[in-house]
Amino acid sequence: MRYWPRGIRKDRVDLWFKDVGTSKELIKKWKSGKVAWLEFRKQYVADLKDGKKQAIISDLAKRAKAGRITLLCSCRDPEACHRTILKEQIEKILR
């Protein structure tokens, strides 16, 4: 997540990679209904192709290979959540 999730104490989280969260602009478009899910997905995946973000995703994949990782988010619907897209990107590396 780009923003810290409500109700989660910071001492309960080991690492926070907010840079792989959805951009502020894309969050605003999505929450206001200006972009549909497929367009949101397309823009978020394109954003994740950035070199710095790819390095973070690779690091997350290494951590996932070594043990369990948890991706936090405030989205109510996991089918329409950037967390699911990020998980897919991590799994691509693990394959």
Q: CB of 61 within 8 A of CB of 87?
A: no
Both structure tokens of 6: 């409500």
Q: CB of 53 within 8 A of CB of 20?
A: yes
Report how far residue 49's alpha carbon sits from residue 46's, in angstroms, rounded to the nearest whole number.
5
List the beta strands (DSSP E) in the chain: none
Question: Does the pLDDT value for residue 86 go beyond 90?
Answer: yes
In this prediction, residue 76 carries a pLDDT of: 82
Question: Does the pLDDT value for residue 4 go beyond 90?
Answer: no
Over residues 15-71, the pLDDT tens digits come to 888 889 899 999 899 889 999 999 999 999 999 999 999 999 999 999 999 999 988
Question: Does the pLDDT value for residue 5 go beyond 80?
Answer: no
Amino acid in the structure at residue 9: R
In this prediction, residue 54 carries a pLDDT of: 96
Measured CA distances, 21 to 1, 3, 87 (Å) = 4, 8, 12
Q: CB of 6 within 8 A of CB of 74?
A: yes
